[in-house]
Structure 1
Amino acid sequence: MMNSEYISNPLFENDGTPQELKSGEEFSDLKIIIFSVEDKPYKIQHLYKNIKVDGYVWKNRDGLKELKNAMHAVSTTNQFYISPELNTTVHPKKVLEITDFDVFLIASLSTESLQEEISKSLKKKGCFTSSVNAIEKRLKFLKEHFNASNPTHLVAIAKDFGLV
């Protein structure tokens, strides 16, 4: 008769091999490092803030070296590790949080809506920031932040980031 601690759990396939693990919950202390070619700030921010991964390494020419650094850092500290090239994506003072308002503005621009039409749409939705002046200021700020030369260029950049 088998020792009861080796009885397989229904969470694992019973292949006749004694199982020492009872469930995946036994891995709750595992560190998670993402190793990806993705460099879009909003995706990295999502993994960092919402999924609570322990590290993010960008697959580039130095990716394997950075992965080794990340594994060492994550195993010896409780701090989030990120490739140096992407550090500004999670640094709280340098990150621009894209709001639903920003996405709406850019999406409206992508359909060639005029700022006056965007203002009317926002007023219909009951949005408190709906004046043409507020829209102009925010679009100017977004263009400067993304180094866009004009509204069309801003839309193109936003599409590249997957925002619209």
Structure 2
Amino acid sequence: MFNKVLIAEDLGWNTKRIEQQLITMGVKEVVLTEYCDDAYLKYLKALKEEKSFDLLIADLSFKEDHREQKLKSGDELIAAIRKHPSNIKIIVFSMEERLQRIRSLFNEQQLDAYVFKSRKSIEDLREAFVCIKKDERYISSQVAAALDKQQSLEIDDYDILLLKKLAEGYSNREISDQYKKESINPSGVSSIEKRLNKLRIQFKANNAVQLVAVAKDLGLI
């Protein structure tokens, strides 16, 4: 069982619900934070004092206010924490539904569980605890397709960059010129057109505008 838990969540009522559940489950110490920067500093302090956290529960989205933040999202907080050698387990507690963003957290940041915010999220949180104790990953049913191999996307960094350029309003010719200057290959207009056509087919998009919209929905750009 976890003894020391760090929570990064900017909605107070949500934090209290989680805290109460953790205490019910036998957690001895729960530290609450509303900003990712604060959560990261508390994590580093605990690591330095050799009183490390066993578990991080973090939202992905945080509303901006008057306070300037270096880490502006749960994704950035998790990435920062994963740079340090630690046995900390991580649960994301969020309403994010974009499958690619969720998939990236599991694949790139070794996420242990994803609990989707809903009426049954506390029940899901309990299930996530059980799975993590058995060294198993957990994901709420609402977004389980993110880990479905049949839903995997055959795209690479080149495709992501191409989609970003398209979203910024550049024409194929302009993208080609930029790629040639930056030595990014393939850089020919025809190659770019073929790649975009492949992406349109894959994402079932009728045109560039729809392709960009789908990419944004999936959290690719």
Partner deviation per Cα, 1:34-89 (whole Å, 9 max, x = no partner): 221112234323432333221112123543443332222222x2221112332332
1:35 has 2:93 as partner:
yes
Give the distance between the partners of 2:109 and 2:139, measured in 1 at CA.
15
Return the structure number with greater strand share: 2
Alignment partner of 1:128: what SS? coil
Q: TM-score, normalised by structure 1?
A: 0.67
| Match of residue 167, structure 2, among 82, 90, 110 | 110
Q: Which residue does 2:109 correspond to in 1?
A: 51
1:24 has 2:82 as partner:
no
Partner deviation per Cα, 1:100-135 (whole Å, 9 max, x = no partner): 322332232234332222222212221221222322
Judged with a 3 Å threshold, the aligned counterparts in structure 2 of structure 1 residues 116 and 90 are, in CA distance, closer, same or farther, namely same
Q: Is the 8 A contact 1:143 1:150 kept in 2?
A: yes
1:147 has 2:204 as partner:
yes
Alignment partner of 2:92: what SS? strand
Q: TM-score, normalised by structure 2?
A: 0.53
2:51 maps to a residue whose letter is G
Alignment partner of 2:52: what SS? helix
| Match of residue 124, structure 1, among 174, 178, 181 | 181
Q: Which residue does 1:16 correspond to in 2?
A: none
Alignment partner of 1:33: what SS? strand
Give the distance between the partners of 1:91 and 1:49, measured in 2 at CA.
12
| Match of residue 130, structure 2, among 68, 72, 91 | 72
1:138 has 2:195 as partner:
yes
| Residue correspondences, number | 144
Q: Which residue does 2:144 correspond to in 1?
A: 87
Alignment partner of 2:136: what SS? coil
Q: Is the 8 A contact 2:101 2:218 kept in 1?
A: no
Alignment partner of 1:35: what SS? strand
Give the distance between the partners of 2:53 and 2:217, measured in 1 at CA.
39
Q: Is the 8 A contact 1:88 1:95 kept in 2?
A: no
Give the distance between the partners of 2:93 and 2:182, measured in 1 at CA.
41
Give the distance between the partners of 1:69 and 1:145, measured in 2 at CA.
35
What residue ranges of structure 2 are gaps of 5+ in the alignment? 1-44, 55-85
Q: CA RMSD in A?
A: 2.9
What residue ranges of structure 1 are gaps of 5+ in the alignment? 1-10, 13-21
1:25 maps to a residue whose letter is S
